[in-house]
Amino acid sequence: MPPWIWRGTVIIGLPKETKLHEYRVAMTPIAVSDLVQAGHTLLVEPRAGLAAGWADNLYRDAGARIVSRKEIFRRAEMIVKVKEPQSSEFHLFREGQVLFTFLHLAGYPSLIRVLQRRKVIAIGYETVETADGSLPLLAPMSEIAGRLASLMGANCLRKDLGGKGRLLSGVRGKDRGRVTVIGVGHVGQAAAVTAHGLGAEVRVVDLNEERLETMRQKFSVETFRSSPKVICRLVRETDLLIGAVLVAGRRAPCVVTREMVKGMEPGSVIVDVSIDQGGCVETSRATTIERPTFTRFGVIHSCVANLPSLVPKSASEALSRATFPYVKKVADLGYERAIDEDPALAKGVNLDRGEIVLAALKECIEDGDVVGT
């Protein structure tokens, strides 16, 4: 029976993540228990939550059935994940199945084609958007990524790792390191606050004057309205550059050019958190937790696409809390009624049975601005 013809109870699948070094799980045992109590069936893959601290017996005690990956995809009407499906999972999807996960499709053209061909209903956490423009499912992971970006960047400045040997706090307030954060959404704000807490001299850049004013008032950091000229000057002077530019559903705009990177002092560090959407630095390319950095023009680049996976316990708990109300709504009401009643959830729909419905993604494809096309 197609999942949009709802019976009041739904089979929900929770597979183990297959992306390299992805340690998070989409739902905690507490969330699973609440869904089971609501009358839904939960199928969980063996060891799905183990890396985040939850063994199979905890899911079993919560009422879930521990079954194989193949059975999950065969039986589940809704698949709830953390990261975008990997190539090993492409063949498992079937027509009408609801996929609820981080998608970032502007960075994965091959996945777009698979979801179209399989006629999947794909809802992206990162494009669920409330009336005030906030992104409630992206926000907790963005906060974690921003905090980790500053910590990783500070560590990469160590001389033994190829950095310039700068301590961000300086010594007794003297010779503090300079951190420039481009983009002041959830990632950028968290990165700036963490860098400020480390004692660095922090500059933030954005187009949104209201966000800049908030940063000035709350955290007493230097703020700059974004322009190529301003970015060029700040990048040249910075020890640690954090790229945190986000345009929901679209490829991140490239705001730091190759020439700007060439102008940085050797041993400086770039952490491009926008890499999920293609990156906002021209010299960026995706890296992994296993090999998080590379050096270009003497500048260390860290472009890990799943930074929150470094702290899977905290990240999984935060993600599960944020997504649970939406997962339950789809399960309780059915996909069509849920998006009719919840405009924020409706904005999260990227593809509906294979048809691209997210306006930003459509524009991205029409403009040829999808990574890899």
> In sequence order, what are the residues at sequence separation of 6 or more whose Cβ sits closer than 8 angstroms to the Cβ of residue 269?
153, 156, 157, 163, 239, 240, 241, 299, 300, 301, 302
The answer to whether residue 264 scores a pLDDT higher than 90 is: yes
What is the pTM (predicted TM-score) of this model?
A: 0.89
The answer to whether residue 185 scores a pLDDT higher than 60 is: yes
Q: How confident is the model at residue 353 (pLDDT cuts 50, 70, 90)?
A: very high
Tens-digit pLDDT profile for residues 302-351: 999 889 999 999 999 999 999 999 999 999 999 999 999 999 999 999 99
Please give the pLDDT value at position 304.
Answer: 94
- Other CB atoms within 10 A of residue 229 CB: 8
Of 3.40.50.720, 1.10.10.10, 3.40.50.2300, 3.20.20.140, the CATH number of 11-128+311-366 is: 3.40.50.720
Say if 11-128+311-366 and 139-309 have the same CATH topology: yes
303 token code pair: 């472009």
Q: Are 47 and 315 in contact (CB under 8 A)?
A: no
The answer to whether residue 187 scores a pLDDT higher than 80 is: yes
Beta bridge partners of 202: 179
Q: Helix, strand, coil % (nearest 5) of the chain? A: 40, 15, 40
Considering the candidates 206, 239, 276, 352, report the single residue annotated as catalytic: 276
Q: How confident is the model at residue 112 (pLDDT cuts 50, 70, 90)?
A: very high
Catalytic residue flag (residue 276): yes
The answer to whether residue 164 scores a pLDDT higher than 80 is: yes
Q: Greater confidence, 6 or 294?
A: 294
Please give the pLDDT value at position 368.
Answer: 66
Domain boundaries, the chain: 11-128+311-366, 139-309
Please give the pLDDT value at position 373.
Answer: 40
Tens-digit pLDDT profile for residues 74-84: 999 999 999 99
290 token code pair: 């296993």
Q: How confident is the model at residue 108 (pLDDT cuts 50, 70, 90)?
A: confident
Q: Are 41 and 8 in contact (CB under 8 A)?
A: no
Rg (CA), the chain: 21
Catalytic residue flag (residue 104): yes
Rounded mean pLDDT of the chain?
Answer: 93
Residues above pLDDT 70, as percent of the chain: 95
Q: What is the separation, in whole angstroms, between the first and last Cα of the chain?
A: 36
Q: Are 269 and 241 in contact (CB under 8 A)?
A: yes
Least confident of 4-18, 180-194, 331-345: 4-18
What integer is the mean pLDDT of 233-259? 91
The rounded distance, in Å, linking the Cα atoms of 357 and 350 is: 6
Please give the pLDDT value at position 5.
Answer: 45
Superfamily of structural domain 139-309: NAD(P)-binding Rossmann-like Domain (3.40.50.720)
Considering the candidates 40, 104, 186, 196, report the single residue annotated as catalytic: 104
Please give the pLDDT value at position 361.
Answer: 85
What integer is the mean pLDDT of 85-103? 95
